[in-house]
Structure 1
Amino acid sequence: MSEFNLVIKNARITDTTITDIGINNGRIEKIGKLKSGNKNIDANKHYVLSGFVNSHSHLDKSNLLDKMTEDHLGKSLEENRILLKKLKSSYSKSDIEKRATNTIERMLSKGITAIRTQVDVDPTAGIIPIKSLLSIKEKYKDRVHIEIAAFPQEGVVDEAKRDLMEKAIELGADVVGGLPLVEEKGNEKKHLEILFELAKQYNKALDIQVDETNDPRLAILPEVLKKTKEENYEGRVTVTHAIALSRMPTEKAKKIIEQMKSLRINVIVTPSANMITRFVEINDLWMRPSNSITRVTELFDNGINIAIGTDNIRDIFYPFGNCSMIRELHMLISATRMTTREYIDGAISMATTNGAKLLGLNYGIEEGKQADIIITDAMSKLDILNSDEIIPCVIKNGNIMSLDENKLQRRGN
């Protein structure tokens, strides 16, 4: 009987460090030159990372592309929301579970070991999506960590909509989601007030989608920061997108970033979806037919925890996507010019350990960390970004989920 349940031999944990990793009881117990374990994997000098964390997705809406027609493509954000209501009117639990399951299986094949999914809670679909994803969460509990955010796709100000959010949380939603943009003009602050009330009532973290437009005149982020401070909710608020920050005057943006740091705000970026989002007022000075990404490098430089998500997958809002975090990394690094070594390393952390921190997981290729590990098809971090997005081995809680030894042997020789 070996000292370790599983040993990964010849694992590259930095560009210049090749070692062995000993795993017991779902944790990395020892890193160094080790004897064989009860089970062994020869990484053959391939790069080993913590599992990818998809910090923002919409599993209940994924693969709606199969229900769409060509005239549904290329619409604005608001037009897409109208179309979504039409498609959601025919939702069923079995339909959602089938589409979401297909997406999760693809995510697993791409090395994703943890997911936060925003799940619609609204009068159109009721709590059917939440019930569907709770069933899937239970089904996949040994293969992937799934965290569910109750997402008020049609708002939360109306009493009936708030009641639905409460039902979703009571059923088992882990996080309170938010979308102030969908409220009638003037109700955005009320939306935030209700979100914070719900979060405090049920002791939940908040994950709020803000500022999908790059128009700083419409920015709701400053109100989120104000409310976070008023409610003493430091460290428990995440904002997704925050794109208007990219168009604010630099000095104003610096002050907001300083506030975000002091309030320990987390930020999620969804690079591909951010770049494709369109708005109607394309001739306005501030509203471009293409979108942008928030000030990722400035946020990173200030030590703010940034995570990455795929956002929508093959649906109304983003009809593309193959569930690959490597693809999202490539888009992020290219669009924000994160080409220094520090930024490249930081970007990969955004897709792994930063996302894990957001979800309360203890990731990292270090002794004592959770053994959610992937062996990549690469020999360096740059090689990961330039790879074919193949993940030869996925390990979850110290158990081998998938392994293609041929890919590891072929690349290493």
Structure 2
Amino acid sequence: MNITEQSIHNNSSKIKRSDQEFVLSNVRLETGFVHDDSYNNSEQIVATKTAFFDLLISNGKIEAITEYNQTKEVQNKIEQADSADLVTIDADRLLMLPTLQDMHIHIDKTYYGTGWQAAPWNGSIKDMIDFEKTLIPKLLPNSQQRAEKCIELMQSYGSTFARCHANVDPVSGLKSLEHLLLALDNYRDSFDWQIAAFPQHGILYSQSESLLREAAQMDIDFIGGLDPTVVDGDMEKSLDIMFGVALDYNKGIDIHLHEDLPSGKAVMEHMIKRVKENPVLQGKTFITHAYALAMLPSQELKNIADQFAKYGIGIISSVPIGKQVMPLPTLIEHGVKVLTGTDNLMDNFSPFGTGDMLQKANLCAQLYDWTDEYRLNRALKMVTQHLLPLDDEGKQVWPFVGAAADFILLNASCSAEAVARLPKREAVYYKGKAIA
């Protein structure tokens, strides 16, 4: 199904896609839930209500929302505007959803963009660190170009934001980070990002504290860490350096934690203690992967989830499948901020990344048996930083007048169908500009 464009006045066919006004017409928006009490004598949400609207987009924001074909407010705007450049884009009843956000991805050292390459089999993180000592120099010369191809792939699937983790290590120095910054800057008009400086080879194991401190003075947002017990061999010293750098330069924290029990739990407890001591890090501290959570007894998991929620420590997951299924529903139930990311696009750790964040919502729904309309609808929040068209009670809360015109259009009847069926993204808009 194609998006068609036609002028409103003066037979103008010129489309100004940025910093200009246009009308997105005949677009499907979610308006509420349909309840039914005939299922085992209990009420269920069985469908999502939608209706068709016209939106006036101006200077990257949504300026007006009116029912389709009842556009008096929009027409008034048209009369006040330079009608020669004002056009309508017929959305042809496509569903409008918020753009997606990838909260954990490595695009600084990807194979993507250079043809197929599987990940080498390897049994330990330290063996992979040794492998990277020869791999990274081969990847660096073209790492900027491959990162740009990754950005374009993410955009094509509807992502307009990513938290990118960049290697900071003695092999690449700051070059991986510098190349990533160049790549992202080339998409500054169509993409948003955060950057975590990631000591992939260990803070202590590769003596990378000085590099982290140099990186912290660049345009980054988070200080990372890696398995402080298994890789660095001194949990408290490794974590204290990570926290120290973050505090010294006013950055957040996002650590990779792959460790099992008991060390994985000990790391999380020490991090809770440090964040409790430093309230400035509350809401700015994240643990990525955190596989040990899947191994905790039920009550211990609930206790640590309560502490995460109390002190604003978030969990970011790639939603792994395999021996251990992450207890994301329990974390969400206890108020923990849970976000997801694709992790990679075909690199030396995995060949399976697709760049499609909607697929992560779909994977959550499959893993946790979110098969009904309501939970499929709510699953979308896993990939939008919790921005949804409807609140938990079914009240329409997005889009709204004044919101950034960041949205995707797809051929689905509602969010639940989009999550379950993964339809093609027909169009992606960033600040009112079609980017894919």
TM range (shorter): 0.7 to 0.9
What amino acid maps onto 1:63 in structure 2? Y
Q: Percent identity?
A: 27
Deviates more, 1:148-157 or 1:250-259: 148-157
Answering whether residue 265 of structure 2 is matched by residue 231 of structure 1, we say: no
What amino acid maps onto 2:318 in structure 1? T
Structure 2 counterpart of 1:189: 236
Structure 2 counterpart of 1:383: 417
Q: 1:155–1:183: 8 Å Cα contact kept in structure 2?
A: no
How far does residue 160 in structure 1 lie from its aligned partner after superposition?
4.7
Answering whether residue 59 of structure 2 is matched by residue 25 of structure 1, we say: yes
Distance 2:153 2:231 in 1: 37
Distance 2:105 2:273 in 1: 27
Alignment of 1:286-365 (within 5 A): 290-354=322-386, 364-365=398-399
**Which of 272, 290, 306 pairs up with 1:258?**
306
**Which of 213, 219, 227 pairs up with 1:172?**
219
Q: 1:25–1:398: 8 Å Cα contact kept in structure 2?
A: yes
Structure 1 counterpart of 2:434: 400
Q: 2:232–2:238: 8 Å Cα contact kept in structure 1?
A: no
What amino acid maps onto 2:159 in structure 1? I
Distance 1:83 1:182 in 2: 20
How far does residue 373 in structure 1 lie from its aligned partner after superposition?
0.9
What amino acid maps onto 2:167 in structure 1? D
**Which of 248, 257, 274 pairs up with 2:296?**
248
Structure 2 counterpart of 1:45: 93
Structure 1 counterpart of 2:23: 7
Structure 2 counterpart of 1:286: none
Q: 2:197–2:220: 8 Å Cα contact kept in structure 1?
A: yes
Q: 1:148–1:174: 8 Å Cα contact kept in structure 2?
A: yes
How far does residue 126 in structure 1 lie from its aligned partner after superposition?
0.8
What amino acid maps onto 1:322 in structure 2? T
Question: Secondary structure at 1:178's aligned position in 2?
Answer: coil
**Which of 43, 53, 75 pairs up with 2:122?**
75
Distance 2:183 2:113 in 1: 21
- 1:275-322 Cα shifts (integer Å, max 9, x gaps): 3xxxxxxxxxxxxxx443421111222232221110011111111222
Distance 1:325 1:291 in 2: 22
Question: Secondary structure at 2:421's aligned position in 1?
Answer: coil
**Which of 1, 16, 21 pairs up with 2:49?**
16
Distance 2:356 2:239 in 1: 32
**Which of 176, 194, 218 pairs up with 2:264?**
218
**Larger Rg over CA atoms:** 2
Q: 1:313–1:321: 8 Å Cα contact kept in structure 2?
A: yes
Q: 2:315–2:336: 8 Å Cα contact kept in structure 1?
A: yes
Distance 2:116 2:270 in 1: 36
Structure 2 counterpart of 1:154: 201
Which structure is higher in helix share?
1
Question: Secondary structure at 2:292's aligned position in 1?
Answer: helix
**Which of 368, 371, 380 pairs up with 2:402?**
368
Distance 2:422 2:366 in 1: 17
Unaligned 5+ runs, structure 1: 276-289, 357-362, 403-413
Q: 1:208 to 1:338 in 2, by over 3 A?
A: farther
What amino acid maps onto 1:147 in structure 2? Q
Unaligned 5+ runs, structure 2: 1-7, 10-19, 31-47, 79-85, 389-396
Distance 2:63 2:338 in 1: 28
Question: Secondary structure at 2:386's aligned position in 1?
Answer: helix
Which runs of structure 1 show a deviation greater than 4 angstroms over 4 or more consecutive aligned residues? 64-70, 181-185
Distance 2:261 2:206 in 1: 30
**Which of 77, 90, 96 pairs up with 2:143?**
96
- 1:132-178 Cα shifts (integer Å, max 9, x gaps): 01111211100111221111111223795111111112121222122
Distance 2:371 2:273 in 1: 34
Question: Secondary structure at 1:89's aligned position in 2?
Answer: helix
What amino acid maps onto 1:302 in structure 2? H
What amino acid maps onto 1:58 in structure 2? H
Q: CA RMSD in A?
A: 2.7
Q: 2:204–2:232: 8 Å Cα contact kept in structure 1?
A: no
Distance 2:229 2:137 in 1: 18
State TM-score, norm by structure 1: 0.83
Which structure is higher in strand share?
2
Q: 1:326 to 1:354 in 2, by over 3 A?
A: same
How far does residue 344 in structure 1 lie from its aligned partner after superposition?
2.2
Q: 1:154–1:183: 8 Å Cα contact kept in structure 2?
A: no
Q: 1:214–1:246: 8 Å Cα contact kept in structure 2?
A: no
- 1:92-123 Cα shifts (integer Å, max 9, x gaps): 3x410121111111111111111110000000
Deviates more, 1:314-323 or 1:254-263: 314-323
Q: 2:228–2:239: 8 Å Cα contact kept in structure 1?
A: no
Distance 2:107 2:50 in 1: 37
Distance 1:230 1:342 in 2: 39
Deviates more, 1:388-397 or 1:81-90: 81-90
Aligned length: 376
Q: 1:130–1:173: 8 Å Cα contact kept in structure 2?
A: no
Distance 2:130 2:342 in 1: 22
Answering whether residue 154 of structure 2 is matched by residue 120 of structure 1, we say: no
Distance 1:108 1:65 in 2: 15
What amino acid maps onto 2:255 in structure 1? I
How far does residue 214 in structure 1 lie from its aligned partner after superposition?
5.0
What amino acid maps onto 2:428 in structure 1? V
Distance 1:159 1:319 in 2: 26
What amino acid maps onto 2:23 in structure 1? V
State TM-score, norm by structure 2: 0.79
